[in-house]
Amino acid sequence: MILQKRLMVCASALGLMAGTAMPATAAPWVRGYVVGQYEYAFRYGGRADFTRGAEIEPGVDCPHGASTHFANDVNTKIAVQRQKFRSQQEIDWISRPPGLDQVRAPVLTRFHIWNRAVAYRGYKRGIETYVNPWAAEDPGQPQVTSRIGDGFNLDGKVKAADFVSPDGEKGVDNNLYRAWGCDAPWRGNGNATLDLRANDKMQDGLYTMVIRVSGNKDPMNDDNATLEIGYSPDKLVKDARGGIAVDYSYRILSTSQYTKLKAKIKNGVVETEQVEHLHSPRIAWFYDQTGDTNFSKGKVRLNMSPDGLSATGLLAGYRDWRELYTENTFAQDGGQQGIREHEDHVSLYYALRRNADGMYNPKTGKNDGISSVYRLKLASAYVVDPQDPKMEVPKLALDEERMQAFLAIKANTIKGAETRVPQPVPPGTTEAAVGSFEHDIADLPSKDFFIKTLDRPHYANEDKDGIPPWMRRRRGTVAPTPPAATPAKPQNQVQADTPTKVAAAEKQ
């Protein structure tokens, strides 16, 4: 691109020197970009003068700061004492495990106890929380109160609760920000932990996202342009300072995670048409989560710099809120992420459900989608077609087992949400710290109480320590797999309820 511009400048200079006029004519043009930062378009209203305490800075968008679920033993006790089936001893010992000061790794030991405990908070024992969040009490999620939000008017209406964009556009739909904008790991001024993690993994090669804009008039003003967005099998290239290097070549796959849109450009701002389905890569920090965003009524806006070296933009539409829930919850397991990030996915589930504002489902009379806006920062690149036009997104063979486990737990979660029948935890996951809990609390004096009392999912072919076969494979354990046999169902294993039983329990 830079070379092409320099040649054009030289040609113009030679024309002037020869005393000839160079007529201004329209010509085909292409600008390519690779995405260097990709995150939810949440704003941040924190106060610079706030001294950090037990919460992230409050601001005009979140008057009470961020959510701080499981930040300490007090918050954890509040969560586990909501279950009527727990004894007072169980509540007290979970929040402050006896003998914790005697173990080699007190933080890790407490972490796994809390993980297992918060993974079972249903209306009765044996119902796994994160696969069945609807079966637990809503802990309450602080929601955004500001009227300012990034995005588009996706539904063509200006409603009282809609956001207003920073430049004054009314009717902006971004209910994902309303629901999750005060969630601690997504909230920050460039330092939100999950934003940092997702961008770091993307930049280190987990996946690559590219955009190509083309037309026949002027790159800064063209009323008949085309924008392509999609996945690239080529890893991002960084410069010497760790930034995204410019003008490297990336292939764009036109099969899955790809959309081609009509667009208009005015003063460097690219505005695409709104399409029924917009496919592109989705935010992820593990291979499990990677895949297609599949926005409903999606569109893109880019603001290109005049030199073509960079661009910023927004990608938006309605996403299935249950898919958003599973992508955030089961990258590893719900309890692990909740305790580490101080977020409660049960509260996030309810926040998504009550803020769903699109993709109306006539069978249920409810909305399956929530308006969602993603923020993009891009660097110039040569975006080219692959030799094989049918090339698909490659799979990582070593992580396919985890991907299949993620898809299975996602399916069970959606099924439970639709039927209100508790679903089991499918094989392949680490929900309730399966594979870690028993090992990491081994030297805790009160370990037998927790092993006997706390719920966990059980599977066929567990070893004597309760480790399922997929955890042994991931650890490279050489011990032979026990003969195939299904263990007796533990007393705390989930039992499938009828919708009638569930409805009665939810009224209690």
Q: Where are the domains of the chain?
A: 2-26, 32-49+141-394, 73-139+403-507
Question: Which pLDDT score, from 0 to 100, does residue 287 have?
Answer: 96
Question: Which pLDDT score, from 0 to 100, does residue 23 have?
Answer: 44
Token reading at 357: 């504002």
Q: Is this structure's pTM higher than 0.85?
A: yes
pLDDT, one tens digit per residue, over 99-158 is 999 999 999 999 999 999 999 999 999 999 999 999 999 999 999 999 999 999 999 999
β-bridge pairing 310-320 and 295-304:
antiparallel
**403-410, long-range: CB < 8 A, 24+ apart:** 403/287, 403/288, 404/428, 405/288, 405/429, 405/470, 406/288, 406/289, 406/326, 406/330, 409/131, 409/326, 409/330, 410/323, 410/326, 410/330
Other Cβ atoms closer than 10 A to 249: 13
pLDDT, one tens digit per residue, over 409-431 is 999 999 999 999 999 999 999 99
Low-confidence ranges of the chain (pLDDT < 50): 1-24, 478-496, 498-508
Question: Which pLDDT score, from 0 to 100, does residue 44 have?
Answer: 86
Helix, strand or coil, per DSSP, at residue 336? helix
Question: Which pLDDT score, from 0 to 100, does residue 474 have?
Answer: 80
Residue 346's nearest CA partner among 186, 122, 176 is 122
Q: What is the mean pLDDT of the chain?
A: 88
d(CA 307, CA 455): 59
